[in-house]
Amino acid sequence: MTELPDAELRARRANSFGAQAAEYARYRPGYPAGAIDWVLPQGAADVLDLAAGTGKLTESLIGRGLNVTAVEPDPAMLGELRKRFPSVRALAGTAEQIPLPDSSVDAVLVGQAFHWFDPQRALTEIGRVLRQGGMLGALWNHEDEQVPWVSTFDKLARARAHRSWTRPAQFSDHPLFGRFEQQDFRHTVRHTVESLLAMIGTHSHMLVASSEERQELNERMRAYLLAQPETEPGEFDFPFQTTVYRGSRS
């Protein structure tokens, strides 16, 4: 397999999710309540779910009684969000061009997406729509690699298209924000072997892999999971860690 240049591979991965929007909505995990509470400023009422995807964060935010606007660039993902949450104001837009007025929200939350943004342009635009003292929170769910069997599984799940990035580098100094803070939250999601493989199948490195590579990876992951006492046939708790960064609008 000929490897693509990083920029081309990144673009393919960033635009790969829409084809699997229904599966993304079904299998991707939500976010722990403590992580969302840590981001939301006291008294928040108007909240933007930016790069909202199929509404994994949107669901938790509307459950808190907040006035939520969802912004998402992918038409298929946006369509799935509108189908799931028809009462939510859902708009097409990007982090670098948010279709909202200046100083219109108390918080901007970004789930599993900030690494796809142009960081400085996005921070400028997010700062524009935030009210003074408002909060930006970026959240990432990832496998809890501090659990040994999960760490081994994560390595097995990586396709050749897998690329890593350093999340803290996304939050360099910006004149509209104070110093960003980081916090980690642990949670579990109930899975079977097949539902866990389906969840991994919605990751961008799997979506852009060849059908042969996906089959090979699925067979490898399935064999490993069926051999582990923690994941023997039936349901089991799969450990996640949610890494969160928050920064206040100056």
Q: What is the CATH number of the domain that holds 79?
A: 3.40.50.150
56 in a structural domain: yes
Specify the number of domains making up the chain. Answer: 1
Please give the share of the chain, as a percent, with pLDDT higher than 90. 68
DSSP state of 179: -
CA–CA distance from 145 to each of 170, 214, 234 (Å)? 22, 22, 22
pLDDT at residue 240, as a whole number? 95
Lowest-confidence segment of 7-11, 52-56, 97-101, 212-216 by average pLDDT: 7-11
Alpha-carbon gap, residue 69 to 74, rounded angstroms: 16
150 in a structural domain: no
pLDDT at residue 88, as a whole number? 98
204 in a structural domain: no
DSSP state of 168: G
Do β-strands 130-143 and 236-248 pair in parallel, antiparallel, or remain unpaired? antiparallel
199 in a structural domain: no
- Total H helices, total E strands in the chain: 10, 7
> Residues 6 or more apart from 173 whose CB is under 8 A from it?
none
**Which 3 state secondary structure label does DSSP give 153?**
helix
**Rounded average pLDDT over 77-104:** 97
